[in-house]
Structure 1
Amino acid sequence: MRAIWKGSVSFGLVNVPVKLYSATESHDVSFRQVHEADGGRIKYQRVCSIDGEEVPYSEIAKGYETEDGEMVVLTDDDFKELPLTSSREISVEKFVPSDQIDPMLFEKSYYLEPDASGAKAYALLREALLESDRMAVVTVALRQRSSVAVLRVRPSDSGDVIVLQTMMWPDEIRVPDFSVEIDEVKDSEVKMARMLVETLAGDFDASEFEDDYADAVEALVKAKIEGGEVKRTETSTKSSGEVVDLLAALQKSVAAAKQARGEEAPAEVEEAASEAEAAEKPRKATGSSAKKTAARKTASKTTAAKTTAKKTAKKAAAKKTTAKKQVKKAS
């Protein structure tokens, strides 16, 4: 790794010389825009929206658009007037309990490595953070912009290391504009949900999860290069419109989780299953009775229709007989 920043951590009268390394890197699959016919890459020109002319880099400036749509052009001289800082100090403001920091505030992570001369002070700060279960809230200037961040200890294969995590400003966190309103939750449903949580409880291991999409893209590209037939992965698009009994669904989930672990379903699950089945039977019985009643009505209508048809046929036959008799008399 290559250090991206050098400075020192300052807390009280103690200074710890450190180097900063980026702690994360993205492995997202990226694509290029190309011409489908020949694979040529697509290029874009920098064109002015007013005169339609292409603009060279030397004539491109930064602009700030106001709320009413007015564009204010800012030059390099304008930026020199801003209160930018070149401080090389990570200043500890306070030490706070770890559970008081909302993880949603975290933005970018960096590893802190001490210089040889500051190794002991680094170790002391690390142990103090661990034993107190606190994070250090700090201010730091990265890329000439002041940021709020925290220092915390993270275990690694090479030992515990201090991590600096920059944070977003409070006004950058959006407030949800919706509310979740539900009917009353039954005690039996809460009990079964808690049992499902306990059944699926475990320790987090990031290595258990894989980026299936990236693997699928690599396999697809490999198949295209080798000239083989690309097999399309089937995906389910079914969506159930049925109203699912929540308690029954939870019970089945617990039973399935237990079975996957080679365990037997607890007695509470069996009892819940019996209760769910008992509650379901009246519904099925009601539905069955309704179907039978409808069938009887349909049968009655069919019989009545047949009777009417027979009467109509008899009347028609009688009319034909009368007509024949009249013809004979006339002759």
Structure 2
Amino acid sequence: MRAVWKGAVTFGLVNVPVKLYSATEDHDVSLHQVHAEDGGRIRYQRVCEIDGEVVPYQDIDKAYDDGERTVIITDEDLKALPAERSREIEVVEFVPTEQIDPIMFDKSYYLEPDSASSKAYVLLRKTLESTDRTAIVQMALRQKTRLAALRVFGDVLMVQTLLWSDEVRDAKFKSLDEDVRISPKELDLSKQLVESLVADFEPDKYVDEYQAELRTLIKAKLEQGDALDTAATFGEEPEEAEGGEVIDLMEALRQSIAAKRGGGSGGGGRAAAGGGDADDSHADDADDSSGSGRSGGSGGAGGSAKKAAGGGAGKKAPAKKTAAKKPAAKKTATKKAAS
């Protein structure tokens, strides 16, 4: 695991240096969007609604609008806020653990000692265990001030961020205002049903069936060959295109040799020279193709995948020939030197 935050837990004069780690992770299969017709990756661009231009990320600020006016908040404004500079988990109070309703919990983090001695860390952990208390703390995390609960989880101290009180909605439903009568017999039968299903909670025995079936589906498609070359979804040329080009070159060489044996020395010489240039240019094309593939993949332009799919390999071929002009220029210089 990689620490997402470093600081110290402080209460009174006690200071406990710690590292913060995410305690949970999402197990969902990661999916992305593609064009249904050709499988090309879908890219989104940040476009200014005033001039219609694509805006680089570094030129984007945040803003707040109240309906009629908009206030722009720059990165400098956010960095000036004191909360972002804080590196302390400040203990505000210790409360009975049962008083914190689970609806308040948001995200969980493990705390690891970050000092030569873990004595202060262990002392705080044992204190919380023996008193059955949870520490309510405040901290700055990801540019926001957080309210959190500091508690014990096994042998580890854990911080669980809490929702602010105004972030929890009131449960007000008219249907619950009705006076409903429950008979003692109905209540007794309901209790019996509960007792028949009583068990200890074992989270490992529960499986996300949807995700399991999705992974099975993906595996089956891969095994059946029902998949695309990933490079092609970024608009890069598939390897088959280069293989076809090699076959064409071999056929050209055969025709050149046949023409030379037939006595056409002038044509044969040109064919041989042409064949050599084609071989060299093919090698250069291979390099250019791999280079263009890298740039195409890293560029991330939304239109590149569509252009590759719509225009076919024919649109890329001229670019490759242009890149191969430099070796041809070198051969011309060699011929002049020989003459």
TM over 0.5: yes
Aligned equivalents of 1:58 and 1:117: distance in 2?
40
The question of whether the paired residues in 2 share the 8 Å contact of 1:16 and 1:118 is answered with no
Shift in Å at residue 42 of structure 1? 0.8
Determine whether 1:226 maps to 2:223.
yes
Q: Are 1:186 and 2:202 matched, yes or no?
A: no
Among 148, 160, 163, the alignment partner of 2:158 is 163
For residues 131-190 of structure 1, the C-alpha deviation after alignment (integer angstroms, 9 at most, x for no partner) is 2111011111223432111111112xxxx1110111111111111231423531111010
If asked which structure has higher relative contact order (CA below 8 Å, sep 6+), I would say 2
Question: Which 4+ residue blocks in structure 1 deviate beyond 6 angstroms?
Answer: none
Q: 1:62 to 1:161 in 2, by over 3 A?
A: same
Question: What pairs up with 1:39-78 in 2 under 5 angstroms?
Answer: 39-66=39-66, 68-78=67-77
CA deviations on 1:209-259 (whole Å, 9 max, x unpaired) are 111011110111122222289xxxxxxxxxxxxxxxxxxxxxxxxxxxxxx
- Give the Cα separation in 2 of the matches to 1:136 and 1:41: 47
Question: Counterpart of 2:144?
Answer: 145
Cα pair 2:29 2:215 within 8 Å, conserved: no
Aligned alpha-carbon RMSD (Å):
2.0
Residue in 2 that maps onto 1:300: none
Which digits, 9 at most, give the CA deviation of each residue in 1:2-50, with x for residues without a partner? 1222222112222112111111111122321111122111112222223
Cα deviation digits, residues 271-314 of structure 1 (max 9, x gap): xxxxxxxxxxxxxxxxxxxxxxxxxxxxxxxxxxxxxxxxxxxx
**Cα distance between partner residues in 2 of 1:161 and 1:84:** 26
Q: Is residue 2:8 matched to residue 1:11?
A: no
What SS does the aligned partner of 1:84 have? helix
- In structure 1, stretches of 5+ residues that fail to align are 230-331
Q: Distance in 2 between matches of 1:137 and 1:102?
A: 13
Task: From the CA coordinates, give the structure whose radius of gyration is larger.
Answer: 1
Q: How many residue pairs get matched?
A: 224
Give the alignment of 1:1-331 within 5 angstroms.
1-66=1-66, 68-155=67-154, 160-179=155-174, 180=176, 181=178, 183-227=180-224
Q: Amino acid of the residue matched to residue 150 of structure 2?
A: L
Specify the SS of the correspondent of 1:9.
strand
Instruction: State how far apart, in whole Å, the 1-side matches of 2:18 and 2:58 are.
Output: 37
Q: Which runs of 5+ in 2 are unaligned?
A: 227-339
Q: Distance in 2 between matches of 1:111 and 1:183?
A: 45
Aligned-partner Cα distance in 2 for 1:146–1:205: 34
User: Percent identity at matched positions?
Assistant: 54
Distance 2:167 2:73 in 1: 24
Q: 1:122 to 1:59 in 2, by over 3 A?
A: closer
TM-score, length basis structure 1: 0.63
User: What is the distance in 1 between the residues matched to 2:49 and 2:2?
Assistant: 41
